[in-house]
Amino acid sequence: MRNYYTAIQFWSYSLLVVCLCPLAVFLGAYMHWPLGVAPLLLLAPPTVLAAVSSPRVCYWTITVLSISSCFAEIFFRPDLEEVRSTYPASIMCASVLVGLVLLIDLYMGKLRHKLSQMHDQNDELVRQLYQTQKQAAADASKSGITEINDKPVSEQKENTSVESGVNYPLLLLTLQDIGRRISTNQSNESLIPTVISTAKASLQCESCQVYLWDSKSRALKNALPARARDRLDYRPAANHGVAAWVIEHRQIVMRNDADQDYRLKRIIEDDPQMPDAIAPLTVGSELIGLLIIDKIDVDSPTIGRLIYILSNIYALGIKNSQLFKRIEEMASRDGLTGLYNHATFQEKLHELVKGAEAQSTSLSIIMSDIDHFKSFNDTYGHQAGDFVLKEVARIWKTVMPDNAVLARYGGEEFIGVLLDHEYSQARQIAEDLRETLENCPILFEGQQLQVTASFGVTEFRHPATTTKELVRVADEYLYKAKEGGRNQVVGLDTNATRKPGT
């Protein structure tokens, strides 16, 4: 262990895994689950959390402990004779744990490699800037400028740093600030304003904007809404104009390039609103976006080189934040349906309940379970079951309001939180979901699968007043819906809303 904090992390995760092991054995025996399922459900969250937040040796040790717990049931389950499979189920669950950790390990390795490249590049850039400043000072002294000797020393240093139009001390601070923000895993929401502000300070420009590139739709999107005083008349287009040329050739274009490159002259003339400079933000061969700069000194001999250096640093920072966002999404989303997972949903629900309680607003929950889901797996195979889960999740996204928080609660159970919706509104939405599922058969490999679901609906403060009570009451109503014949909605009243004949 490198330090005291790492040791605390390691022993905390180890103690948690050891404590959860007997609980997993008890839960598996009580629920009559196959071997390995209970350890997988209980130990996957702390194992994944350790893989994201701990050193490599630490999280692989935790993974080994978790895998050992998957096989502990073989020796301690009291109902072992009733369980059909022993080693295969435990091996499969252990393989799932190893796969999760390997996937996270792969992404963390890529991130460490990117950060190492960024630090090496920053060191090289600082060295080049220092040599450039030194050369500029030497050239100025050879040119016979004698009035510098008559000025104070502080003024001489200031003139040396800005004589070529570049404030090198400020630029070095800019590089340090960008590097610090990259290493602290800042999101684009906080990184983009830093990019814009440091670009303005370093390039001494009046306007600067960042457009991000979407490779799937081949479109540019402004990373942040421009303020009124920073708003540019120029809007880069991906299919024509100077921006399209920059995207295709991955080269910086400045307004005065028309005098030096005949290929750009016609393009720049056909794009009269072009700003002073457009720089591509690239990492390797991948285009991240465009840096739009206006009102700069295009005649400065070092401005092009400075834009090139800064655009590379900014591209690395934005790419780094995008990679971290992808990892966060993987940790919070269900891999099959794209909805929030169980743990993330609990966190979101806790925040929403606190907000509803503080603001005295309404909040309702819809909980659903697919009817006879096991029959799809048994009849058509597990691929059909996975396809049904994906399609049901798609229908939930379509029918539910845009501000609803949706999650796959576990297995074939789905849950959604409706903000500013009373019980009657939530019940109607649940009925719309039920009817949509019933009336839209799912087509899988040429066969129509008739899917229905049962629903439980409840509202905050009627009667539940906590997150646990909300989920418990919704689950009780869901159980009543399944007990009453399935394919129906049950809520506060005892009468279920059900389509006649179902």
90 and 168, same structural domain? Answer: no
Domain housing 261:
164-329
Final residue belonging to a domain, choices 266, 296, 329: 329
For 357-373, what is the mean pLDDT?
92
377 and 474, same structural domain? Answer: yes
What does the pLDDT look like over 256-310, one tens digit per residue? 776 666 677 778 877 778 888 899 999 888 899 999 988 888 777 778 888 888 8
280 and 379, same structural domain? Answer: no
CA distance 253 to 256: 9
At 399, is the pLDDT very low, low, confident or very high (cuts 50, 70, 90)?
Answer: very high
Q: What mean pLDDT is reported for the chain?
A: 80
**3 state DSSP class of 495:** coil
CA distance 184 to 172: 18
What does the pLDDT look like over 96-155, one tens digit per residue? 888 888 888 888 888 878 877 877 776 676 667 656 666 665 665 555 444 444 445 444
Q: What per-residue confidence (pLDDT) applies to 130?
A: 57
183 and 296, same structural domain? Answer: yes
Q: What per-residue confidence (pLDDT) applies to 157?
A: 44
Q: What per-residue confidence (pLDDT) applies to 450?
A: 92
Q: What percent of the chain has pLDDT over 70?
A: 80
188 and 43, same structural domain? Answer: no
CA distance 366 to 401: 12
Q: What per-residue confidence (pLDDT) applies to 390?
A: 94
What does the pLDDT look like over 38-49, one tens digit per residue? 787 888 888 888
Would the pLDDT of 359 be above 70? Answer: yes
Domain count, the chain: 3
Determine contact, residues 383/435, Cβ cutoff 8 Å: no
Strand 253-254 and strand 219-222: pairing? unpaired
CA dihedral (137, 143, 144, 145) positive or negative: negative
At 438, is the pLDDT very low, low, confident or very high (cuts 50, 70, 90)?
Answer: very high
CATH of the domain at 369: 3.30.70.270
Would the pLDDT of 442 be above 70? Answer: yes
Final residue belonging to a domain, choices 107, 137, 158: 158
Q: What per-residue confidence (pLDDT) applies to 412?
A: 92
Q: What per-residue confidence (pLDDT) applies to 415?
A: 95
Final residue belonging to a domain, choices 109, 134, 158: 158
